[in-house]
Amino acid sequence: MQSAEPWWHGAVGYEVYIRSFADSNGDGIGDLPGVITKLDYLKWLGVDIVWLTPFYPSPGHDHGYDVSDYCGVASRHGTIGDFDALVSEIHGRGMRVMVDVVPNHTSIEHPWFSSARSDPSGPERQRYIWADPAPDGGPPNNWLSHFGGPAWTLDEASGQYWCHLFLSEQPDLNWRNPAVRDDFDAILQWWMDRGVDGFRVDVAHALIKDAELRDNPQTAPLHDSMHPFEAFAAFDHRHDLDQPSNIEIFERWRQVCGPQQVMLLGEVNAPWPGGMARYVAPGALDQAFFLRPAMMGWDPGLLLQMLRSMHDAAPEGVSWVISNHDRPRPVTRFGGGEAGLQRSLAVTTLFMALGGTPFLYQGEELGLPDGVLRGDHYDPVAIRDGCRTPMPWDAGPYNGFSAGTPWIDSETRPQKQTVASQRDEPSAPLHRYRSLLGLRRSHPDMWQAPLQWLDSADPLVCALRRGSITVVANLSPEPTSFGLDSSGWQIVYSSQEVGSVSNSSDIVLIPAETTLVLKTS
Ligand code: TEU
Ligand code: CA
> How much of the chain exceeds pLDDT 90, in percent?
94
Ligand nearest to the CA of 35: 2
Of the candidates 21, 108, 127, the residue with the CA atom closest to the CA atom of residue 67: 108
* Angle in degrees, CA 275, 324, 351, rounded to 5: 65
Q: At 395, which amino acid appears?
A: A
Euclidean distance between CA atoms 146 and 77, whole angstroms? 27
pLDDT-derived band of residue 280, with 50, 70 and 90 as boundaries?
A: very high
Regarding whether 118 and 73 lie in a shared domain, the answer is no
**For atom 1 of ligand 1, which residue has the closest CA?**
203
Regarding whether 43 and 74 lie in a shared domain, the answer is yes
Regarding whether 221 and 116 lie in a shared domain, the answer is no
**For atom 14 of ligand 1, which residue has the closest CA?**
202
351-399: pLDDT as tens digits? 999 999 999 999 999 999 999 999 889 999 989 999 999 999 999 999 9
Euclidean distance between CA atoms 329 and 315, whole angstroms? 26
In the reported structure, the alpha carbon of residue 30 is separated from the centroid of ligand 2 by a whole-number distance in angstroms of 5
In-domain check, residue 7: no
What pLDDT, on the 0 to 100 scale, is given for residue 1? 43
**For atom 18 of ligand 1, which residue has the closest CA?**
65
The answer to whether 35 touches 21, Cβ cutoff 8 Å, is yes
Query: Hey, how many other C-beta atoms are within 10 angstroms of the C-beta on 215?
Result: 14
In-domain check, residue 252: yes
Please compute the mean of the pLDDT values over residues 342-353 and round it to a whole number: 98
Euclidean distance between CA atoms 11 and 358, whole angstroms? 8
In-domain check, residue 331: yes
What pLDDT, on the 0 to 100 scale, is given for residue 5? 85
What pLDDT, on the 0 to 100 scale, is given for residue 501? 65
Ligand 1, closest atom to CA 146? 12
- Residue 126 CA to its chain's centroid (Å): 31
Q: What is the CATH number of the domain that holds 315?
A: 3.20.20.80
Residues known to be catalytic: 202, 267
Regarding whether 188 and 297 lie in a shared domain, the answer is yes
Q: What is the CATH number of the domain that holds 478?
A: 2.60.40.1180
214-249: pLDDT as tens digits? 999 999 999 999 999 999 999 999 999 999 999 999
In-domain check, residue 168: no
Overall domain count for the chain:
3
Ligand 1 surroundings by CB, under 6 angstroms: 62, 65, 102, 146, 166, 202-203, 229, 232, 267, 269, 325-326
The answer to whether 102 touches 67, Cβ cutoff 8 Å, is yes
Chain-wide mean pLDDT for the chain?
A: 96
Please compute the mean of the pLDDT values over residues 257-263 and round it to a whole number: 86
Euclidean distance between CA atoms 364 and 436, whole angstroms? 13
Probe ligand 1: pick from 58, 66, 164, 166, max atoms within 8 Å of CB? 166
Q: Where are the beta strands (DSSP E) in 40-81?
A: 49-52
In the reported structure, the alpha carbon of residue 121 is separated from the centroid of ligand 1 by a whole-number distance in angstroms of 32
What pLDDT, on the 0 to 100 scale, is given for residue 506? 86
Please compute the mean of the pLDDT values over residues 434-441 and round it to a whole number: 97
pLDDT of 300 > 90? The answer is yes
**For atom 3 of ligand 1, which residue has the closest CA?**
203
Query: Hey, how many other C-beta atoms are within 10 angstroms of the C-beta on 264?
Result: 24
117-155: pLDDT as tens digits? 999 999 999 999 999 999 999 999 999 999 999 999 999
Starting at the edge strand found earlier in the chain, the sheet holding 287-290 runs 318-320, 287-290, 263-268, 198-201, 96-101, 49-52, 13-16, 359-361
Regarding whether 339 and 204 lie in a shared domain, the answer is yes
411-424: pLDDT as tens digits? 999 999 999 999 99
Ligand nearest to the CA of 54: 1
pLDDT-derived band of residue 260, with 50, 70 and 90 as boundaries?
A: low
Residue 158 structural domain: 111-163
What pLDDT, on the 0 to 100 scale, is given for residue 502? 64
Regarding whether 460 and 431 lie in a shared domain, the answer is no
What pLDDT, on the 0 to 100 scale, is given for residue 409? 97
Euclidean distance between CA atoms 98 and 357, whole angstroms? 13
Of the candidates 463, 471, 461, 455, the residue with the CA atom closest to the CA atom of residue 301: 461
pLDDT-derived band of residue 189, with 50, 70 and 90 as boundaries?
A: very high
Cβ contacts of 421 within 8 Å, gap of 6 or more: 394, 395, 415, 428
What pLDDT, on the 0 to 100 scale, is given for residue 498? 82
Q: Where are the alpha helices (DSSP H) in 137-177?
A: none
458-492: pLDDT as tens digits? 999 999 999 999 999 999 999 999 999 888 899 99
Please compute the mean of the pLDDT values over residues 178-192 and round it to a whole number: 97
In the reported structure, the alpha carbon of residue 33 is separated from the centroid of ligand 2 by a whole-number distance in angstroms of 8
Please compute the mean of the pLDDT values over residues 87-103 and round it to a whole number: 98
In the reported structure, the alpha carbon of residue 25 is separated from the centroid of ligand 2 by a whole-number distance in angstroms of 5
pLDDT of 500 > 70? The answer is no
Regarding whether 218 and 132 lie in a shared domain, the answer is no
